Structure 1
Amino acid sequence: MKSAKPLPANPNRQVETPEGIILSMPLADPIARACAFAIDFLVRISLLILISLPLAGLGQTGTGIWFICLFVLWWGYYVITEMLMDGSSPGKKAMHLRVVNEDFTSINFSTSLIRNLLRVADAFPGFYGMAILTVLFSPGNKRLGDIAAKTVVVSTRPKKYREIALQAPALIPNMTFTQTEQRNIIEFARFCELGSTDRAKEIASHLAKPLNEENSDQLVVLLRRYAKWFLEGSG
């Protein structure tokens, strides 16, 4: 079976799907990633301070609990938030960033664990010096954790037409789609939340040839409404 493969270098990351559909997502820029890291750092510090207040009067027991909380926050914070927030963290969410696999599918627990355990290596030789170097100079703006886990951080800043599509109700298709076509439309709808507007319109035109709809913006909305029906209404 043909697997998803990256295309030549581009300002965005591009992947060709097994069906020959090319998906494109904007990579997160280093400044946005640094801001997200700073926000997450402040969140963790704030949580530690809040935890410290009720533990202050518990003596050695309180100290032990505090160190356990410190361990969980520093080692489990990103894994927990990325699992609960579909590849994001509070900082990434604020900066409209998301971690995905190289083929743009959602990450799972093991993937998140691998990429975040390597934050120790990213921290050397100074304050995340290795992470800064690899993000700036590696293909796909990856740090060591991303390279090991085969993940990328992409921008999810919403576009206006996507917001309209998300609000649109499910629509029963007026024609029959095969199971493969339904899967393609569903994946396209998911991709629209992340991918570039122009590429989304191109893919919509490819998927919707039988629909006799020439307006590319309307095609995107129509396919997303169909996808919602395939996921929710047809079952």
Structure 2
Amino acid sequence: MSHTIRVGDLVTGEAVVLDLRVAQLASRAVAYAFDVAVQFLLLLGVYLIAPIGFDDALQSALALSLTVLVLVGYPTLVESLTRGRSVGKFVMGLRVVRDDGGSIRFRHALVRALGGFFVDFWMLGLGGAIALFVSLFSPQGKRVGDYLAGTLVIRTRIPQQEVELADMPPQLAEWARGLDLSQLSDELVLAARQYLSRYHELGEQARWDLGARLSDDVGAAIRSPRVEYTHPHPYLAAVLAERRRRAG
């Protein structure tokens, strides 16, 4: 039986779902409040340095253009450069990802920002009422901009009890110290942690098949593939334990 992996649900061939922790509405709201504060400061700075002396109509057009530039340009630029993490999302431990779990690109960030400006929050959004309504009825907490862009917001912070599952296998400790973990994405880390946390709920075949797929993805990211005879569980545990050790 084939196995499929997607963010939001990590589904094994035995129909065991590993939840990748879609962000809750409350944490998204706090993150958005941080971003609004940043945008307000940016608008204030832009207005202070903007040229003055035009007639009222031109002044109004300039003010509107600058406002749209900040409200659309800020989330587009920041989320594109950081692969889905605005200031607010960084503070709250959130990230925007594609529906298939991959990192977002410029077009995803732009569509989300345009959806946020025109529908979710500002032009037609009634101060965020539409975003709130749509998110409440979405299984994955999506707003209109997420549906248009094909994205969702996930949590990148894992409770301590799950982090502790990744103990360092002694036989792999020396190998792990030499790893380059700079390209290891939060999405892969989340999937690996969920695999380890639900390991004992899986059948033997699912443990191997799902673990092998995750190990292949992790190995490609860290440029140190799993040795064929090494079981996926200690391999993934070693990578996560080393990552935690370096984070302090």
How high is the TM-score relative to the length of structure 1?
0.66
CA RMSD of aligned residues (A): 4.2
Paired residue type of 1:36 = A
Match of 1:34 among 13, 26, 29: 29
Q: Is the 8 A contact 1:171 1:225 kept in 2?
A: no
State the secondary structure of the residue aligned to 1:59. coil
State the secondary structure of the residue aligned to 2:45. helix
1:206 maps onto 2:200 in alignment: no
1:109 maps onto 2:103 in alignment: no
State the secondary structure of the residue aligned to 2:54. helix
The aligned counterpart of 1:72 is: 69
State the secondary structure of the residue aligned to 1:98. strand
The 10-residue stretch of structure 1 (98-107 or 47-56) with the greater mean CA deviation from structure 2 = 47-56
Change (3 A) 1:225 1:5: closer
State the secondary structure of the residue aligned to 1:26. coil
Match of 1:121 among 104, 119, 122: 119
Q: Is the 8 A contact 1:24 1:196 kept in 2?
A: no
Q: Is the 8 A contact 1:27 1:140 kept in 2?
A: yes
State the secondary structure of the residue aligned to 2:96. strand
How high is the TM-score relative to the length of structure 2?
0.63
Q: Is the 8 A contact 1:99 1:152 kept in 2?
A: yes
- Please give the alpha-carbon distance, in whole angstroms, between the structure 2 residues aligned to 1:86 and 1:31: 22
1:170 maps onto 2:178 in alignment: yes
Deviations 1:23-61 (A, max 9, x none): 6411110011111111111101111112223336x4239
Shift of residue 199, structure 1, vs aligned partner: 2.6
State the secondary structure of the residue aligned to 2:157. coil
The aligned counterpart of 2:134 is: 134
- Please give the alpha-carbon distance, in whole angstroms, between the structure 1 residues aligned to 2:72 and 2:27: 22
Change (3 A) 1:219 1:4: closer
Match of 2:86 among 86, 89, 95: 89
The aligned counterpart of 1:191 is: 187
Paired residue type of 2:178 = A
Q: Which runs of no fewer than 5 residues in structure 2 stay unpaired?
A: 169-175, 200-206, 216-227, 243-248
Change (3 A) 1:135 1:86: same
The aligned counterpart of 1:59 is: 53
Shift of residue 143, structure 1, vs aligned partner: 0.8
Paired residue type of 1:50 = G
Q: Equivalent pairs: percent with the same residue?
A: 25
- Please give the alpha-carbon distance, in whole angstroms, between the structure 2 residues aligned to 1:42 and 1:60: 28
- Please give the alpha-carbon distance, in whole angstroms, between the structure 2 residues aligned to 1:112 and 1:3: 29
Q: How many residue pairs align between the two structures? A: 201
Paired residue type of 1:59 = G
- Please give the alpha-carbon distance, in whole angstroms, between the structure 2 residues aligned to 1:151 and 1:23: 19
1:99 maps onto 2:107 in alignment: no
Q: Is the 8 A contact 2:72 2:110 kept in 1?
A: no
The aligned counterpart of 1:180 is: none
Q: Which runs of no fewer than 5 residues in structure 1 stay unpaired?
A: 7-11, 173-185, 227-235
State the secondary structure of the residue aligned to 1:211. coil
